[in-house]
Structure 1
Amino acid sequence: MDDRNMDSSSSTITDVATKHPKSIIHIDIDCFYAQVEMLRKPELRSEPLGIQQKNIVVTSNYEARKCGIKKCMLVSEALKSCPNLKLVNGEDLHDYRASSNKIFTLLQHWKSPVEKLGMDENFIDVTNLIQEKIKSTNLSNIKFTGHLYREPETECPCGCHTRLKIASQLASEIRQKIFDELGFTTCAGIAHNKLLAKLICPLHKPNEQTLIYPEHGEEFMSTFQSVRAIPSIGSKTTETLISQNIISVSDLQQVAVDVLKKHFSSDMAVRLKNLCFGEDNTPVKQTGRPQSIGLEDSFKTVSVRSEVEEKFSALLQRLLMLVREDGRIPVSLRVTLRKKDVKRLSSHRESRQCQISSSIFTVNGGVITITEAGQQKLMTIIMRLFNKLIDLSKPFHLTLVGLAFTKFQERMTGRSSIVNYLMNDLSVQSVLNIQNDCDTSASSMDYSAVSPSSSTTTDLSDGEVEPSPKKPKKVNWIAKRRCLSREDVASPSKLKVGELRLNSKELEKVSELRLNSRDRSLTPRASPAKDNMSDTSDNMKDIAEGGNCDECPSYVDKDVFNALPEEMQQELKSMWKNPANSELPRTSTRNMNKSKPNSILKYFVPQK
């Protein structure tokens, strides 16, 4: 009987496919903007501090909150409540974004999915990490860390209590590391889903954490006096619910689903019922790079086009700084306006966006830059979108303008890139690096244009040039080329490295050109082609006298030649030994084409 109990206990703790399988931690930075400023200026720690944007105090430290300062309070009212309030302008978000990114990067240390929510909040799904910890932890004496919403009457059969206790210990470890390395105090919520973890987090602030068990979710949710307290419920949904006399979360718990379905879709009605009882199955999605980068500027009213252009210009300068930090090249731009409308109670925004050429931006040493001309192009695009949103023949009043880059182009480099894959194939890289045009220098092909340190301009219309990889040790990178003088270029019979095509039809064309040149050279009239043909014939004689591929013409790279398929080597040798009869049988051409009809080489050197 003891053995059965042991097996049952073990299975309930380790089985992740149970009723409350997940362990979620929600981390919230205390008075984030204010902490950033206090870390920059430690003397502000003991002073009541407010962060000002326009004429509003967007947040404050806890010293100021003791004096009655509240979030989004007017500056004039705040100074009346706290005359010695220290105000810091927080309209430039650069330092706040940088601090937020540092915290997010630090949270990656635990190798668990981290979802960013704004600048100062993060969800962490530690389910798998808890499962690993359980294997090496004595479960008989596990205690939670921090505050507990309510003591359970009985243990949940799925073992979630034990998992959440371990999660609370992990949350304390995370918060301590953030403080030790970055200096920020935080609060945390620990629960089996995102909804409860977020809502329980601020119950004990600042610098504290709270754990809630699943069976107390319904009771905890009923304490909220407004349905707006539920994160997934927006202003329009709230208005609809209030119109049906559903004001508090408790009211929402008591209303039937069928009643909700009369005003919402079936899925939405069911979701509202689940949320009001503290049920939420949305996963923690690992946050990547933002899909858009944008800024907004709000004001009382602007009614002149020139003033709008000034505000857009200021936003663009700040936005370009964010793009440089992000490192991706924007290819789409969006303009947003908010028009003053006394008839509408809620704010109403209108947007227009369009594609922009990535060639406006330049990459110098891995850093995105833009010239003055490029900025002027962007301003022209911005104002053109503005003109589509506003009828300038009529009066207009704006209370907000916004700019955002909404799509990006990223450079695919490194070992996983397609170019790096191709460069590992000798025959492919040799063909890709052959040039047909004559170069008057004796050096190999110039790669300076694609070096990582050079200026690279990207464009959507062309594939992006990759930096050249290191030179292989065993083979030469580029086919050695014969240096031709300008007077030699006139003759089409000059055989160059460009004739080393992996295409027998091209070889037939070259052979025809040689035969035509040979016929013309027999005429009494002197021509440069005669000299060129004789020069080529000398090289052909050298090959005919020899018997192996080590005696290729001087303009052919031996390593490149040896990398070609055997049948192609024989074909070239035959042509070089018998230049007068280099017309190849068509059966040979067909056979060669059929040998590898779908090879990657054939794709990059398409058939004519």
Structure 2
Amino acid sequence: MEQSKEPIILHFDFDCFYASVVENENPALKTVPLGIQQKNILATCNYVARAQGVKKLQLITAAKKQCKNLVIVNGEDLTRFRVVSKNIWLFVREFVWHNLTERLGLDEIFIDATEMIDFNMSQLRFQPGSKDPSFFRLSRNDPSAGFPFVWDELPGYTYPPAASSGPHSLLHQRLFLASHLASFIRTQILTNFNHTCSAGISTTKLTAKLAGSVNKPDAQTLLLPGFEAAFLAGHEIGKVPGVGFKSAQKIRDKVLGRTTKDEEIEFTEISEKVTVGTVISVITTPAQLEPLTGGNGQKIWRLLHGIDPSRVAAAPIVPTQISIEDTFRPGRITCLNQLTPVLHQLTLKLLQRMHADLIGPGGEKWLAHPKNFRLSIRFHTRNRDFARMSRSGRMPGYVFSLSTPLDVVAERLVREVVVGLFKGLCTERKWELQLVNVAAVNMADGGGGVDIRDMFSTLRPRSESWENKEEPTEYLDGIVNNSQQYNSPPEKEPEPIKEVKEDEDEGGEQEGEGEEVVELEWGDGLSDSSVEYGGIGSRGFSHNDPCPICGERFPVFALEAHQRFHQSETEIEILG
């Protein structure tokens, strides 16, 4: 059979995920306008509310003014959303060979279905116009595991619209078959979890994600090969995953013949739309994009032309880091007395996540334990500098006690470790904090001897193009692990603290207090529909890419050498 090398990528986006979780808990809310509140904004709202003019990420006051009968449910505790997200992901993961499923936030999943599609293509005969059922096999070894489908009944939509009997090339056939797989998975999610989702089918993660956003909710779109450029041309530049807010605004300015200083760029809804088609008609070389995108001209040029080599990364079982952060309005956190309760709250949440994600079935054994605690902060500045400063030290042994109440552990950890890290970072007498992030980093196995990152050194390579932030995972429940129970080691003096100033992802947060952001090594987002897309989305690319082991950012050309340093380290503690 003729070979086709293009990957087959499916993207699933759960519709109004937070609202859908709440509606499943209380079905009476399905027919009323519903909004999910985080701090002073709507994280999302259902389609009943959207039909009445309510928008996600809208201020609560504005949303209530727009819709008098809007029902508001507090969504700042993400626990129930994480649980549902993890259960759906684990369910979908069972259908996919080699576990090639990659979570993005709590509500998106990528699947690399290339091998599944090619195997079925070798077993099937393409039958355009036929109404006879064929059978898609979900297993190589079990011919009864699968589902029936009809070649000529294309599920969902195509771009551009096309007759179902049209595709005849091998790539068309493979994508046609993938549409049936996407439809099957969407049906299984709806049947087993009562959640609808939208899906995109294409040959790259970039185009699959964008295709899935065309026909929402509860639908799917296949982007036919050869039409990628025309498809992208109609998208507003800021909607392209990988183009950050600041870069998008600078590109608009270039196209419209105006200039906006960095400090004048506001993170608000854009009134003047500029499409990708217009951009590439005015900006004709990657070099012209370089000064507009912080040196990412080549990357963004490729994305605007539909070129995306990044791959779906098989998610490992144990996260290599867990972090939680919050953001604050100017004037909210200006002294240690105001900061300490915040540190306690974030640290307590971090410990709760560690217990949820790193302790095995029965709650008796640590599957892994982090060797370091990291504190990152960012100050409010006039020039809208999004750089973070970080310090880390050894994670104390008492953190791994399974008998001490977590609030007691959190209070001690803040008093003995976290406050000291902050004082080392903040040397100014007057300051205003915009962001605080606490993280458990540098995982070792539960026996205390093997670093988790070494366990996954032979896994499929991480995708390279648009993940400048890590993809999500929520999956330790029910995992069998043979590691012995971790007994708290003798407490040691903290190792010398290291400090780094990190380039924050382009774009930053909106003004005002931000919602809790829960990050794993793969980047747990928190909106129900892509606040962040790994490195793609509202924040876009950072100037440097992060090391997947420690999180520190380096130019792409230096990243490989830096990772070899980790492989050779022995007693050196890494600043994550």
Please list, as runs of the form range in 1=range in 2, the aligned pairs for 1:237-252 lying within 5 A after superposition.
237-245=247-255, 247-252=274-279
Paired residues of 1:339 and 1:398 also in contact (CA < 8 A): yes
CA distance in 1, matches of 2:73, 2:159: 36
1:228 maps to 2:238 = yes
Distance 1:307 1:250, change over 3 A: same
Tell me what 2:460 maps to: none
1:321: Cα distance to partner?
0.7
1:318 maps to 2:318 = no
Tell me what 2:194 maps to: 183
Tell me what 1:126 maps to: 113
Please list, as runs of the form range in 1=range in 2, the aligned pairs for 1:33-432 lying within 5 A after superposition.
33-112=18-97, 113-141=100-128, 142-143=151-152, 144-151=154-161, 159-225=170-236, 227-245=237-255, 247-254=274-281, 255-257=283-285, 259-260=287-288, 263=291, 268-288=296-316, 289-300=318-329, 301-327=332-358, 328-341=368-381, 343-344=382-383, 346=384, 348-362=386-400, 364=402, 372=408, 375-391=411-427, 394-411=429-446
CA distance in 1, matches of 2:390, 2:58: 32
Tell me what 1:457 maps to: 488
Distance 1:56 1:151, change over 3 A: closer
Higher mean C-alpha displacement, 108-117 vs 349-358: 349-358
TM-score by length of 2: 0.65
CA distance in 2, matches of 1:318, 1:272: 36
Per-residue displacement from partner, 1:224-269 (whole Å, max 9, x unpaired)? 12x2211111234324423432743113322222542663799943
CA distance in 2, matches of 1:452, 1:249: 51
Distance 1:368 1:104, change over 3 A: farther
Distance 1:123 1:412, change over 3 A: farther
Paired residues of 1:150 and 1:216 also in contact (CA < 8 A): yes
Query: Residue type of the partner of 1:397?
Result: E
Query: Residue type of the partner of 2:47?
Result: Y
CA distance in 2, matches of 1:374, 1:205: 43
Paired residues of 1:223 and 1:249 also in contact (CA < 8 A): yes
Paired residues of 2:348 and 2:406 also in contact (CA < 8 A): no
1:348: Cα distance to partner?
2.6
Higher mean C-alpha displacement, 91-100 vs 231-240: 231-240
1:155: Cα distance to partner?
7.0
Q: What SS does structure 1 have at the residue aligned with 2:31?
A: coil
How many residue pairs match? The answer is 405
TM-score by length of 1: 0.61
Distance 1:180 1:304, change over 3 A: same
Query: Residue type of the partner of 1:297?
Result: D
CA distance in 2, matches of 1:321, 1:302: 24
CA distance in 1, matches of 2:486, 2:284: 64
Paired residues of 1:362 and 1:369 also in contact (CA < 8 A): no
Query: Residue type of the partner of 1:338?
Result: R
Distance 1:91 1:370, change over 3 A: closer
CA distance in 1, matches of 2:426, 2:42: 31
CA distance in 1, matches of 2:83, 2:304: 36
Query: Residue type of the partner of 1:305?
Result: L
CA distance in 1, matches of 2:413, 2:443: 18
1:91: Cα distance to partner?
0.7
CA distance in 1, matches of 2:205, 2:13: 13
CA distance in 1, matches of 2:228, 2:115: 23
Per-residue displacement from partner, 1:86-142 (whole Å, max 9, x unpaired)? 111111111111111111111211233111111101110101001111123231232
Greater relative contact order (CA < 8 Å, ≥ 6 in sequence): 2
Query: Residue type of the partner of 2:446?
Result: R
1:188: Cα distance to partner?
0.4
CA distance in 2, matches of 1:453, 1:369: 22
Tell me what 2:455 maps to: none
CA distance in 2, matches of 1:318, 1:258: 44
CA distance in 2, matches of 1:252, 1:151: 25
Query: Residue type of the partner of 2:288?
Result: L
1:160: Cα distance to partner?
0.9
Q: Root-mean-square deviation (CA), in Å? A: 3.0
Please list, as runs of the form range in 1=range in 2, the aligned pairs for 1:396-545 lying within 5 A after superposition.
396-411=431-446, 456-458=487-489
CA distance in 2, matches of 1:182, 1:93: 18
Distance 1:455 1:195, change over 3 A: closer
Paired residues of 1:361 and 1:369 also in contact (CA < 8 A): no
- Give the share of equivalent positions with the same residue, in percent: 27
1:16 maps to 2:4 = yes
CA distance in 2, matches of 1:291, 1:375: 24
CA distance in 1, matches of 2:58, 2:78: 19
Query: Residue type of the partner of 2:15?
Result: D
Distance 1:150 1:89, change over 3 A: same
1:347: Cα distance to partner?
5.6
Distance 1:373 1:120, change over 3 A: closer
1:67: Cα distance to partner?
1.1
CA distance in 1, matches of 2:295, 2:410: 47
Per-residue displacement from partner, 1:129-162 (whole Å, max 9, x unpaired)? 0111112323123232111111469977851111
Q: What SS does structure 2 have at the residue aligned with 1:324?
A: helix
Q: What SS does structure 2 have at the residue aligned with 1:263?
A: helix
Paired residues of 1:192 and 1:213 also in contact (CA < 8 A): no
Distance 1:324 1:157, change over 3 A: same
Per-residue displacement from partner, 1:313-359 (whole Å, max 9, x unpaired)? 11111111100011131222222333223x22x46342322122352
Distance 1:115 1:395, change over 3 A: same
